Amino acid sequence: MRNSNATTVLQTKYPLVQAPMSWMTDANLVAAVSEAGGLGVLGLNAGQRDVTSSPEETANRMRQQIQLVKSKTTKPFGINIVAPRSGQSLSDAIFTDALLQMAYEENVTHFVVVGEAHEELFKQIKLHDGILIFRPSTPTIEQAQLAEKLGTDLLVATGSDEGGELPEQEAGTFTIVPAIVDAVNIPVLAAGGINDHRGVKAALALGAAGVYIGSRFLVTNESPMSDEVKKYVIRSNFDDLVRVSAIRRSLKTPAALRYADMYRIDPQKDTETLIRQHGGMRPGMLEADFNQGVISVNIGINEINEQSSVAELVESLMTDII
């Protein structure tokens, strides 16, 4: 029943959402996920290789990616939206506002919102008949219940097992998912360390209605991640991960080891800002520049042991799920 609820809301074959992952998505990956029966989602820097500081240019770049996805699939897909900070109006969040207005013009229907529950943003998306998937940066019962009250259609409960930006709390997927499931009356997607069919089955056993997967999609044929990095991930395991900031782990690139040393010596040092100043995930993961970049993946990396097409991956993940 929970699975069917999620697929009904998502309008997809499977209760599966591909996490946005900022730089690490593009139209090819997103269309492939949607064609395979999940929900593909364009990250904030989808399909890009360089940075823009212009809200208009950001929106135009995303429009091009949206139109390219539409040329490749008629299935539903979504875009990532970062919620304004607490107390900030939507009009003051100029990048978010520009992306939203463009998305409405392009008739985008699915919005994956990351951050804190934001009443003005949520109301606007719902007024445009959007399907709202909310991933709190740090999942709490309070945030989950507020998001439900504000009209969220699907909640994402993210454990500290995940890749990317980690929650502030250390609760793993097996802890946070049942806690959020028990606190709300809307479908919950499990996220964090889910890389194979066993992980999907475990998430459903915890009460999740589906799964929200990022790292595993990085090692697919359609992923924009560097082929060299894909091979690096496949031959690595969880012993090869180090903590490089308060909210991030990385494989042991030369850059990651430098950040890890700084963070270990002084946990109060803001190494995350340093990582972002040096390009965030782009140098290491898109360009395989290990001297400048980090490689952020989940701690279930042992289960990422081969590269396949998105269609093959989705089939293996979703076998016997519906």
**Does one domain contain both 166 and 313?**
yes
The four Cα atoms 120, 121, 124, 130 give a dihedral, to 10 degrees, of -150
Looking at residue 159, its pLDDT comes to 95
**Does one domain contain both 204 and 242?**
no
Nearest to 114 by CA among 92, 129, 101, 99: 99
pLDDT digit string, tens, across residues 72-84: 999 999 999 999 9
**Does one domain contain both 243 and 138?**
no
* Chain mean pLDDT for the chain: 95
Looking at residue 150, its pLDDT comes to 97
Work out the average pLDDT over 178-199: 97
Which phi-psi region, left, alpha or beta, contains residue 105 (left: φ > 0; alpha: ψ -120 to 50)?
alpha
**Does one domain contain both 120 and 134?**
yes
Q: What percent of the chain has pLDDT above 70?
A: 99
pLDDT(295) > 80: yes
Looking at residue 26, its pLDDT comes to 98
**Does one domain contain both 186 and 239?**
no
Give the domain extent around 247.
Answer: 227-301
**Does one domain contain both 276 and 170?**
no
Compute the C-alpha angle 243/247/249, nearest 5°: 30
pLDDT(306) > 50: yes
Looking at residue 307, its pLDDT comes to 98
Looking at residue 3, its pLDDT comes to 52
The four Cα atoms 77, 194, 150, 81 give a dihedral, to 10 degrees, of -50
**Does one domain contain both 292 and 186?**
no
pLDDT(253) > 80: yes
pLDDT digit string, tens, across residues 80-108: 999 999 899 999 999 999 999 999 999 99
What is the total count of domains within the chain?
2
**Does one domain contain both 33 and 119?**
yes
Confidence of residue 321 (pLDDT cuts 50, 70, 90): confident
**Does one domain contain both 22 and 93?**
yes
**Does one domain contain both 191 and 203?**
yes
DSSP string, 26-77: -HHHHHHHHHTTSBEEE-TTTT-SS----HHHHHHHHHHHHHHHHHH-SS-E
Confidence of residue 1 (pLDDT cuts 50, 70, 90): very low
Looking at residue 170, its pLDDT comes to 85
**Does one domain contain both 96 and 20?**
yes
